[in-house]
Amino acid sequence: MLAPKSLIGIAGGTFNPIGGTASIIIPIVMGFLAKGGNFAPALTFIACITIAGALSYIFLVGKIERVQDYADFNLPNDKKLSS
Protein backbone atom coordinates (compact mmCIF):
# COMPACT_ATOMS: atom_id res chain seq x y z
CA MET A 1 0.00 0.00 0.00
CA LEU A 2 1.12 3.52 -0.68
CA ALA A 3 0.41 6.42 1.60
CA PRO A 4 -2.55 8.66 0.85
CA LYS A 5 -1.69 11.83 -1.07
CA SER A 6 -2.18 13.95 2.05
CA LEU A 7 0.33 11.87 4.08
CA ILE A 8 3.07 11.33 1.49
CA GLY A 9 5.43 13.74 3.26
CA ILE A 10 5.06 11.97 6.59
CA ALA A 11 5.63 8.59 4.95
CA GLY A 12 8.76 9.84 3.19
CA GLY A 13 10.01 11.51 6.34
CA THR A 14 9.57 8.27 8.25
CA PHE A 15 11.08 5.82 5.79
CA ASN A 16 14.03 7.88 4.54
CA PRO A 17 15.89 8.00 7.90
CA ILE A 18 15.19 4.31 8.49
CA GLY A 19 16.59 3.42 5.06
CA GLY A 20 19.44 5.91 5.51
CA THR A 21 20.76 4.03 8.53
CA ALA A 22 22.00 1.41 6.07
CA SER A 23 24.48 3.97 4.74
CA ILE A 24 26.01 4.07 8.22
CA ILE A 25 25.72 0.45 9.32
CA ILE A 26 26.67 -1.43 6.12
CA PRO A 27 30.12 0.19 5.62
CA ILE A 28 30.98 -0.46 9.28
CA VAL A 29 29.96 -4.12 9.00
CA MET A 30 31.77 -4.47 5.65
CA GLY A 31 34.94 -2.97 7.13
CA PHE A 32 34.76 -5.30 10.10
CA LEU A 33 34.24 -8.35 7.88
CA ALA A 34 37.04 -7.38 5.47
CA LYS A 35 39.47 -6.33 8.19
CA GLY A 36 41.96 -9.08 7.42
CA GLY A 37 42.08 -8.26 3.70
CA ASN A 38 39.72 -11.06 2.70
CA PHE A 39 36.57 -9.67 1.10
CA ALA A 40 34.78 -13.03 0.81
CA PRO A 41 32.89 -12.64 4.14
CA ALA A 42 31.88 -9.07 3.23
CA LEU A 43 30.63 -10.13 -0.20
CA THR A 44 28.75 -13.06 1.35
CA PHE A 45 27.12 -10.62 3.78
CA ILE A 46 26.03 -8.35 0.92
CA ALA A 47 24.71 -11.35 -1.03
CA CYS A 48 22.65 -12.43 2.00
CA ILE A 49 21.27 -8.89 2.45
CA THR A 50 20.36 -8.77 -1.24
CA ILE A 51 18.63 -12.16 -1.16
CA ALA A 52 16.75 -11.22 2.03
CA GLY A 53 15.57 -7.98 0.40
CA ALA A 54 14.45 -9.75 -2.77
CA LEU A 55 12.60 -12.45 -0.81
CA SER A 56 10.90 -9.91 1.42
CA TYR A 57 9.75 -7.97 -1.64
CA ILE A 58 8.45 -11.13 -3.31
CA PHE A 59 6.70 -12.66 -0.29
CA LEU A 60 5.88 -9.80 2.10
CA VAL A 61 4.94 -6.86 -0.11
CA GLY A 62 1.36 -7.15 -1.21
CA LYS A 63 -0.47 -5.39 -3.98
CA ILE A 64 0.84 -1.85 -4.26
CA GLU A 65 -1.98 0.64 -4.49
CA ARG A 66 -2.61 4.05 -3.02
CA VAL A 67 -4.79 4.12 0.10
CA GLN A 68 -7.90 6.18 -0.51
CA ASP A 69 -7.62 9.56 1.15
CA TYR A 70 -10.51 10.77 3.29
CA ALA A 71 -10.76 13.85 1.07
CA ASP A 72 -11.48 11.63 -1.94
CA PHE A 73 -14.66 10.11 -0.50
CA ASN A 74 -17.84 11.28 -2.19
CA LEU A 75 -20.63 12.62 -0.01
CA PRO A 76 -24.32 12.62 -0.91
CA ASN A 77 -25.18 14.99 -3.78
CA ASP A 78 -21.71 14.36 -5.35
CA LYS A 79 -19.95 16.74 -2.93
CA LYS A 80 -16.40 16.12 -1.81
CA LEU A 81 -14.81 16.74 1.57
CA SER A 82 -12.02 18.78 0.00
CA SER A 83 -12.61 21.98 -1.87
Residue among 69, 53, 73 at smallest CA distance from 61? 53
Summarize the confidence of residues 6-33 as an average pLDDT. Answer: 88
At 15, the pLDDT band (50, 70, 90 cuts) reads confident
Q: What is the pLDDT of residue 79?
A: 59
**β-bridge partners, 80:** 74
Look at residue 82 and tell me whether its pLDDT is greater than 80: no
Give the other-Cβ count within 10 Å of 29's Cβ: 15
Distance CA(31)–CA(42), nearest Å, equals 8
Look at residue 5 and tell me whether its pLDDT is greater than 90: no
Give the pTM.
Answer: 0.62
Q: What is the pLDDT of residue 63?
A: 77
By percentage, how much of the chain surpasses pLDDT 70? 76
Summarize the confidence of residues 6-12 as an average pLDDT. Answer: 80
